[in-house]
Every structure is written in structure tokens, then in C-alpha cells.
Structure 1
């Protein structure tokens, strides 16, 4: 059984995502556009980008979950950046992107 101390990060993340979900004006239209691109063209760019962010940029580790070659994942990340204009070199934009992708992919 988990204690609040053990679950603090998960609870905080859940609360942040609920806040984003309840306040559409806080959502980044860039992420919405990326998810729409995936729906329109049948791509998985948002999921690939999320996997990379979850793995803290370690492409080899991120590629193991969707069982794709690391070079394929690198290509998908480049495409996601090109489609959305996301600047992954900016730590704040990277964090916001990560949260927004978690929300977008959790929702649907």
C-alpha cells in the first residue's frame, strides 16, 4: 500500500493534468496541432515525442517501448519538431510540451 509520500509525484502530476484539462486557455495549440496531424495522417509523432520525453531524451531507451529502431524514433522526433515547431532545447518549452502531451494522449 502506498503512502502519500510515496505517491506525491503521481498525485501532483494528476492534479496538474486536471488543471490543464479544466482550463482550455492553458493548452498549447502547438500540441493540439501535432495530435491533429497524427489523426489526419495516421502517424504516431505525438506518441514518439512523448516516449522520448518520458525517457529524458534517451532515444535508445524510448525506442524499446514501441519496439521501433532508434533511427526511426529519431526521424519521428524530427518530424514532430518540424510539424509543430516545438523547441526541445528550451527546458521550459520541453516541460510544457511533456505535460501537454500527457494530457492530450490521456484524453484520447
Structure 2
């Protein structure tokens, strides 16, 4: 397994997921909830790709392969965890914006 490639996949997919989640939040703030929902769904798809890359690493280690823990892999894990947290929080913020918009009508 090429750990550097997997780490770069984690960084790329996680970065995409985080970016799309924040774009979804911006759309919710504008009142465009259909686009916010679409972007959040795309964000979750990218996050799943990142999670799958992480699972590949876990499976490789579980099968006995030695995984060298370098700064690149630590950085990749950091990206994954922050994107996961961002998605969860932004999902809740979108609910609040949607509720607020409903009350203002």
C-alpha cells in the first residue's frame, strides 16, 4: 500500500468535504436551503471517500502491515477529523437557519 497516496487522498477528500459544508452553510444563510441540502449531501459523499481511505489504512494495519506514522499521515488524520466535526456542526446550523427562516415568514 502506498501510504503517501492514501494520506493525500484523505487530505483531498476531507478538504473538499469541509469546503462544501461551509458553502452549504453560506447558502443556508442566504435562505437557499435546496442548494444548502445539495452541497451538504455532496460534502458527506466526499467525507465518505475520505473515511474509506482511512479504513484502507486501518485494514492494512490490522492485516499485519507496518504503517509508518509520519507527519503527512498525522496531517491527513487531522483533516479528516476536522471535516467530520465541521459537517456535524454545520448540519445543525443549517437546521437553525431553516427554523429561523420559517419563523420569519
Q: Compute the TM-score of the two structures, normalised by the length of structure 2.
A: 0.32
Answer 1 or 2: which has greater helix percent: 2
Bigger RCO (CA 8 Å, 6+ sep): 2
